[in-house]
Amino acid sequence: MAELTDRKLYLGPKLRVLRRELGLNQTRMAEELGVSPSYLNHLERNQRPLTAQMLLRLANTYDIDIRDFTASPAEAGPGELSEILSDALVRDIGIARDEILEVAENYPGVSEAIARFYRALGDLRRLPGEAADRSGPAPLVAPIDWLREIIARAGNHFAELDAGAEAIAAQMSDDPALLQAELRARLKERHNMSVQVMRADVIAGSLRHYDMHRRRLMLSERLPASGRLFAIAYHLCAQELAEAIGAQVARAAPPDEDSRRLATIALTNYAAAALIMPYDRFRQAAEQNRHDIALLRDRFGVSTEQVAHRLTSLNRTGARGIPFFMAKIDRAGILSKRFDGEAWPFARYGGLCPRWDASDARLPDRVETQLIETPDGRRFVTLAMALPQGTAAGADGGRSRSVIALGCEAKHAERIVHADAIDTEKDDAIAVGPTCHVCERRDCPDRALPPVTRALDLHSYERTIAPYPFRRV
């Protein structure tokens, strides 16, 4: 707490957001905190700094984590807003960066509204022909984008589901092989559901299928042990945590039926992972073994992708893990899945930086580690792992190559065994940008597009090393 008294904290917007989330007016909150409404109003308008005493009152009254509340605003806010306002539709206005920072830091609700409108605009741009043919109103936000926003807002952590899954796991074995047998027995005894492994040609095109009439869960023989364990856990959670999952989906207020179904599936997947990898046991194993991916995978009987997913969800107050971000990248370098974490260094819209080598990982049992640096000087450690091929039931019985990449700020490197060969302070880092169309690195030889924020500076008498030379101002 001493460090907080050494600097003035102006956290008015955060205080205002907290009050609104609690459903309180200024008079009621002032009464609960033992201050006058006018003083609280001054705090919310950043006309007075928050004192250490006031922070303690907030923490004790509303059970908040002081470290989270006083943390500097995530770069994603100003970064995302800057990216949106560089769109060709509005970039001629020339909005100054200090104006963007002021809006992002002091008016997060405005930033969120602009981001939602931009996502809706992106959907409409992708559907130019369909918009005129629809008989009814078109959804303004694609279900996948809506779900990603809901998960990001929750920090990919759903406390109720973790608690419910932990309660079930406490009655089960820690051994993955025994756990699978116990989950099967529980499905049969409590829910009259049987589990049967089927030949791939019998349930062609599916990895699992639930026969509602016979109450039989059919699993493809192509599923590895980790996939079978997860499928059984998924269906058990769908039965026993249905109320908690339904309540979480209802609070998210899905805009349409597709979004509701997608959210239900995603949260049931989350619960299944929490059952197989119970929060406290998994977090302690990760910390004690310095986030050894292979060890965690083998200890809990899960896949590399499942371990990576779980590591991004360790956001419980008072027992947080490393704030990892995660990406799933196909062989063309296209992002098919993303969990932003606290410090996603790339753009929210568009592709990845071509200088990030994560998609080059080839061997499933090898972790490729890279040190990268963004234009603002922040450094990140990233871990890339190729997923095994041939484990999904495609038309040819296999799956195309894809990569799972985890990353975090370099300050966490000493807690990660895979980063031991990297000196995060002295080693050269790969210079990356958000994505080509909003990146202003002038000397990048791998640039695929010019930045939309700058005018080109082309001359017939000169060929620069970096493609698409552009003016500084």
Q: What is the per-residue pLDDT for 350? A: 67
Contact 302, 285 (CB under 8 A): no
Q: What is the CATH number of the domain that holds 23?
A: 1.10.260.40
Structural domain contains residue 98: yes
Q: Region 24-42: what's the mean pLDDT? A: 90
Q: Region 28-44: what's the mean pLDDT? A: 90
Q: Mean of the per-residue pLDDT values for the chain?
A: 84
Q: What is the CATH number of the domain that holds 342?
A: 3.30.450
Beta sheet of 430-431, edge-to-edge order: 335-339, 325-330, 402-409, 379-386, 368-373, 430-431
Q: What is the per-residue pLDDT for 76? A: 47
Q: How many CB atoms lie within 10 A of CB 57?
A: 16
Residues 56, 63: Cα–Cα separation, whole Å:
10
**The token pair that represents 299 in the structure block:** 């200890």
Is residue 187 domain-shared with residue 261, that is, in the same domain?
yes
Q: What is the per-residue pLDDT for 19? A: 85
Q: What is the CATH number of the domain that holds 183?
A: 1.10.10.2910
Task: Output the CA–CA distances (angstroms, integers) from residue 192 to 215, 275, 299, in the order listed.
Answer: 7, 20, 29
Coil, strand or helix: which one is 442? coil
Is residue 304 domain-shared with residue 350, that is, in the same domain?
no
Q: Region 459-470: what's the mean pLDDT? A: 74
Is residue 168 domain-shared with residue 101, that is, in the same domain?
no
Q: Can you tell me which residue has the tokens 């529980």?
A: 186
The more confident residue out of 86 and 384 is 384
pTM > 0.85: yes or no: no
User: How do strand 319-320 and strand 402-409 relate by DSSP bridges?
Assistant: unpaired
Q: What is the per-residue pLDDT for 7? A: 54
Coil, strand or helix: which one is 273? helix
Is residue 116 domain-shared with residue 210, that is, in the same domain?
no
Is residue 289 domain-shared with residue 183, that is, in the same domain?
yes
Structural domain contains residue 465: no
Q: Region 114-141: what's the mean pLDDT? A: 59
Q: Is the model's pLDDT at 178 over the cut of 60?
A: yes
DSSP designation for 466: S
Coil, strand or helix: which one is 382? strand
Contact 359, 353 (CB under 8 A): no
Domain range holding 89? 76-140
Most confident of 10-24, 330-344, 417-431: 417-431
Q: What is the per-residue pLDDT for 276? A: 98
Beta sheet of 208-211, edge-to-edge order: 194-198, 216-220, 208-211
The more confident residue out of 299 and 362 is 299
Q: What percent of the chain has pLDDT over 70?
A: 89
Is residue 302 domain-shared with residue 164, that is, in the same domain?
yes
Domain final residue, candidates 70, 105, 123: 70
Is residue 48 domain-shared with residue 81, that is, in the same domain?
no
Coil, strand or helix: which one is 22? coil
Q: Is the model's pLDDT at 3 over the cut of 70?
A: no
Residues 342, 10: Cα–Cα separation, whole Å:
21
Is residue 22 domain-shared with residue 81, that is, in the same domain?
no
Contact 441, 375 (CB under 8 A): yes
Residues 368, 335: Cα–Cα separation, whole Å:
18
Structural domain contains residue 450: no
Long-range residue pairs from 49-54, CB within 8 A, at least 24 positions apart, any chain: 49/8, 49/9, 49/10, 50/9, 50/10, 50/11, 50/15, 52/1, 52/4, 52/5
Is residue 424 domain-shared with residue 342, that is, in the same domain?
yes
Residues 250, 413: Cα–Cα separation, whole Å:
38
Residue type, 168: I
Count of domains forming the chain: 4
Over residues 188-218, the pLDDT tens digits come to 999 999 999 998 888 888 889 888 888 999 9
Structural domain contains residue 446: no
Is residue 15 domain-shared with residue 47, that is, in the same domain?
yes
| Angular region, 215: left φ>0, alpha ψ -120 to 50, beta rest | left
Secondary structure of 10-78 as H, E, C letters: CCHHHHHHHHHHCCCCHHHHHHHHCCCHHHHHHHHCCCCCECHHHHHHHHHHHCCCHHHHHCCCCCHHH
Q: Can you tell me which residue has the tokens 């059919």?
A: 218
Contact 384, 357 (CB under 8 A): yes
Q: What is the per-residue pLDDT for 193? A: 94
Domain final residue, candidates 414, 430, 446: 430
Is residue 203 domain-shared with residue 308, that is, in the same domain?
yes
List beta partners, residue 372.
380, 430
The more confident residue out of 74 and 66 is 66
Q: Is the model's pLDDT at 131 over the cut of 50?
A: no
Over residues 387-414, the pLDDT tens digits come to 887 544 443 445 567 899 999 999 999 9
Q: What is the per-residue pLDDT for 123? A: 63
Q: Which of 341, 316, 324 is nearest to 160 (CA)?
A: 316
Q: What is the per-residue pLDDT for 394? A: 41
Count how many residues are written for the chain. Answer: 473
Burial degree of 440 (CB within 10 A; 0-12, 13-18, 19+)? middle
Is residue 199 domain-shared with residue 276, that is, in the same domain?
yes
Residues 209, 190: Cα–Cα separation, whole Å:
20
